[in-house]
């Protein structure tokens, strides 16, 4: 923003927030004639028709008014059942649940409510780009630990005054699913330091080797974030939930009343139908695509086999920015640079949430880029 033409003075907390890397990728995509796009962070399949019809019905039934701040009771009840049965969280109940306008607004409520200026946070990395953004906005200090950590690696944080520990599993951008000993170590660290442990589980259903585990299943003070956006391909409809101890939910609910007011009413009714929807065929399709990408690229790039979400994080030669530009210019291939997820500049993120044809073209282009 130019300070020269108009003197608009911004609050310090948001100075330096930048979305240019992602915007650049979108702009590049727009300028290409027949692009291969492996940059997309949402499913390629449409939202299932039964969920769509539930939305149309809710509209015609006049569900257009404010809902209760914490969400409609019917959805909170359905979510409590989901948490019990699918996430094996026995203590889940509606009092511990808040419905939010997507996981991003769950972050907003959490960081706004919990983080004081100067508070320290531990982020498992590579990490979703919003975590450091929120830590910055609310004046926190960020530490990182690699997602490949061993439990003992956390010892160096035991004497720190951590306020928040946050991670995503399965991970965006790597697809890594944290294992039980890692989750246990993180819960122990949270208990020892008094930190809030936030588990971002938006990709939980994209779990190709049945290795996903909710930390909340054995750690009752966990703050579990669950989304509808990715699982049911309804990213634009803004729906997610927070499962947390009741006093935290009460505080977040008060803050929601003053900020988002409530999650979109019609979307909440769609959420109830979504929870009844069998998504396994969609997941099986993505598992096949995961395997295809891995088998075709493992001899050309240093890469860890993704266990979940719909991403691979590829190590490249040279710098990510240069690689991205080469990919666009030589192959009309759109990728996301790794530096927005990690301190290293040696990675790119690819998404296999795609039609087969686009994916095959993209994998072929990546092979050729590795060879040249």
Which 63-92 residues touch a copy of itself, going by CB under 8 A? 63-67, 69
Q: What region does 214 belong to: left with phi over 0, alpha with psi -120 to 50, or beta?
A: beta
Which part of the chain contacts a copy of itself (CB under 8 A), choosing from 82-90, 207-215, 255-263, 299-307? Answer: 255-263
Work out which of 29, 32, 104, 300 binds a copy of itself, going by CB under 8 A: 104
Residue with smaller CB distance to a copy of itself, 19 or 85: 19
HSE-up of residue 149 (Cα within 13 Å, Cβ side): 25
DSSP state of 157: G
Work out which of 78, 114, 154, 369 binds a copy of itself, going by CB under 8 A: 114
Q: Does the protein bind a copy of itself through residue 265 (CB under 8 A)?
A: yes
**Least distance to a copy of itself, CB of residue 369, Å:** 28
> CB–CB of 341/126 below 8 Å?
yes
**SS3 for 170?**
coil
Residue with smaller CB distance to a copy of itself, 12 or 372: 12
> CB–CB of 304/313 below 8 Å?
yes
> CB–CB of 168/103 below 8 Å?
no
Q: Count of CB atoms within 10 A of residue 284's CB?
A: 11
Transcribe 4-33 into DSSP letters. Answer: TTS-PPPPGGGTT---HHHHHHHHHHHH-S
In the region spanning residues 268 to 307, those forming contacts with a copy of itself, defined by CB under 8 A, are none
Work out which of 81, 179, 181, 257 binds a copy of itself, going by CB under 8 A: 257
Q: Does the protein bind a copy of itself through residue 50 (CB under 8 A)?
A: no
Which part of the chain contacts a copy of itself (CB under 8 A), choosing from 108-116, 175-183, 202-210, 272-280? Answer: 108-116
Work out which of 27, 31, 56, 181 binds a copy of itself, going by CB under 8 A: 56
Residue with smaller CB distance to a copy of itself, 174 or 233: 233
| φ/ψ (deg, to 5) at 342 | -160, 165
Which part of the chain contacts a copy of itself (CB under 8 A), choosing from 82-90, 199-207, 237-245, 311-319? Answer: 237-245
Q: How far is CA 232 from CA 48, 88, 269, 354, in A?
A: 7, 21, 14, 15
**Least distance to a copy of itself, CB of residue 33, Å:** 21
Smallest CA-to-CA distance from 145 within 134, 162, 130 is with: 162
**Least distance to a copy of itself, CB of residue 279, Å:** 15
Q: How many residues bind a copy of itself (CB under 8 A)?
A: 72
Q: Does the protein bind a copy of itself through residue 17 (CB under 8 A)?
A: yes
Q: Does the protein bind a copy of itself through residue 254 (CB under 8 A)?
A: yes
Work out which of 27, 90, 146, 261 binds a copy of itself, going by CB under 8 A: 261
> CB–CB of 217/249 below 8 Å?
no
């Amino acid at each position: 923003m130019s300070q020269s033409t108009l003197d608009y003075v911004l609050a310090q907390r948001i100075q330096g927030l930048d979305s240019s890397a992602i915007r650049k990728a979108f702009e590049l995509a727009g300028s290409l004639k027949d692009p291969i796009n492996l940059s997309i962070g949402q499913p390629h399949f449409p939202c299932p028709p039964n969920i769509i019809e539930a939305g149309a019905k809710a509209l015609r039934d006049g569900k257009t008014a404010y809902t209760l701040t914490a969400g409609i009771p019917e959805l909170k009840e359905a979510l409590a059942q989901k948490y019990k049965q699918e996430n094996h969280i026995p203590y889940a109940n509606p009092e511990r649940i808040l419905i939010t306008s997507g996981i991003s607004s769950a972050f907003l409520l959490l960081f706004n409510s919990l983080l004081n200026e100067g508070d320290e946070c531990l982020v498992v990395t590579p990490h979703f780009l919003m975590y450091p953004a929120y830590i910055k906005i609310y004046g926190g200090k960020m530490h990182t630990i690699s997602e490949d950590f061993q439990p003992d690696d956390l010892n160096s944080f035991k004497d720190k005054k951590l306020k928040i520990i946050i991670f995503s599993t399965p991970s965006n951008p790597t697809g890594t699913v944290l294992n039980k000993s890692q989750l246990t170590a993180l819960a122990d660290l949270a208990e020892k330091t008094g930190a809030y442990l936030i588990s971002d589980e938006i990709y939980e259903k994209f779990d190709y080797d049945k290795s996903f585990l909710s930390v909340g299943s054995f750690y009752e003070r966990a703050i579990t974030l669950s989304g509808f956006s990715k699982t049911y391909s309804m990213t634009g409809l803004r729906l997610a939930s927070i499962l947390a101890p009741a006093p935290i939910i009460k505080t977040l609910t008060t803050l929601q009343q003053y900020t988002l007011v409530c999650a979109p009413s019609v979307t909440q009714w769609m959420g109830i139908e979504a929870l009844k929807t069998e998504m396994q065929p969609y997941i099986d399709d993505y598992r096949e695509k995961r395997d295809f990408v891995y088998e075709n690229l493992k001899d050309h790039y240093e890469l860890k086999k993704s266990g979940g979400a719909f991403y691979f994080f590829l190590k490249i030669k040279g710098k990510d920015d240069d690689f991205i530009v080469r990919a666009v210019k030589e192959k009309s291939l759109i990728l996301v640079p790794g530096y927005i997820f990690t301190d290293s500049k040696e990675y790119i993120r690819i998404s296999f949430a795609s039609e087969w044809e686009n994916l095959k073209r993209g994998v072929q282009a990546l092979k050729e880029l590795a060879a040249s």
